[in-house]
A and B are shown apart, each in its own frame.
Chain A
């Protein structure tokens, strides 16, 4: 305890010397080396993103109860920086598909996803949104990845909040590891953007140019 206090005092004095400009030569170099870390901007950006994901407030079925308890103090997704569920897709960058997606709900889910700004990620939570689960019938989509890209599948019926947290940690790794690409690039889906259209149904000139640029970007890379 006494030793720790001594070393803290020593470090405080050294910091004071630096601020005063009294630190010189080898001492100065040591001081800087201890405190600096070099990396690329991309890494820092992705690290920041992975620790500040904003999920969309979007519950589909019973899995949503587990998703909600993931936010409570017992499981506490705030530890990983994703506790702020946004009520608008414009402010969210993660969509958790918590439950079965019925045939009638699928266009709504897709629309919410399309309204989110890139980069964006999707977790399919539970058996139903991953494969249709027990609902192998006419009314439920057999896996949400039939109509939208999904990054992480979390198995379970429903998965416990710990399982979803594990899936979320995997997603964080994905965000950190992957270079900064939108989902269209990740899924080779360039050129499938929804275009601004005239009333006649023809795409506008700007929309066409933007789509062409996107395709060129992929081909060059």
Chain B
């Protein structure tokens, strides 16, 4: 991973092309992370890929996360790898939940999904991984060639990995919830 000054230099390089792209840098947990504006994701990724002295040409993972109750709620993580120097760099795009705050609309509110530019044109490997993020978190990737569910059944309703999604299954009686049904065995 690039050290803290190196990360600042990268952030400055990205900012040179377009102001306001990098919101924050972080080196916590031994991971260099650029937190970027969702509008500038493609700019940051293409700068990191195409600048000769950076050369982050390998995208090892794209995944989403739900940070409820934090705002902005969602984040999409891009984990980049420079194979020449074996350096890893994370790019994190924070996404607000467009459905937050208007529960009065009911079903219509849940149809408002967060959107982000697709990076399939830059990294073809992102195609399936963006589909997975869409499948589980309902994050719409603009410009994705074939955005549909990948692991859940095609007619599935809902975004099961969101933190406010019910876990499902059937209630099972253990000793810790026995109080709710005393002497259930009689």
Contacts and interface: CB of A to CB of B under 8 A. Distances in A.
Nearest 9 interchain pairs by C-beta: A136-B169, A138-B168, A138-B160, A137-B168, A142-B170, A104-B153, A137-B169, A137-B167, A103-B153
A139 B135 CA distance: 13
25 contacts: A103-B153, A103-B156, A104-B151, A104-B152, A104-B153, A132-B169, A132-B170, A135-B169, A136-B167, A136-B168, A136-B169, A136-B170, A136-B172, A137-B167, A137-B169, A138-B160, A138-B166, A138-B167, A138-B168, A138-B169, A139-B152, A139-B160, A140-B169, A142-B169, A142-B170
Given A104-B151, A137-B168, 14 more contacts: A103-B153, A104-B153, A132-B170, A135-B169, A136-B168, A136-B170, A138-B158, A138-B165, A138-B166, A138-B167, A138-B169, A139-B168, A140-B169, A142-B169
Interface in B130-186: 151-153, 156, 158, 160, 165-170, 172
A140 B160 CA distance: 12
Interface in A130-177: 132, 135-140, 142
B179 to A, nearest CB: 20
A132 B168 CA distance: 11
Most buried by B among A135, A138, A140, A142: A138
By secondary structure, the B interface counts as: loop
Interface of A: 103-104, 132, 135-140, 142
Contacts of A137: 167-169
Contacts of A132: 169-170
Contacts of A135: 169
A136 B171 CA distance: 8
Contacts of A136: 167-170, 172
A160 B170 CA distance: 26
Contacts of B168: 136-139
Nearest to A106: B153
Nearest to B153: A104
A132 to B, nearest CB: 6
Contacts of A140: 169
A157 to B, nearest CB: 14
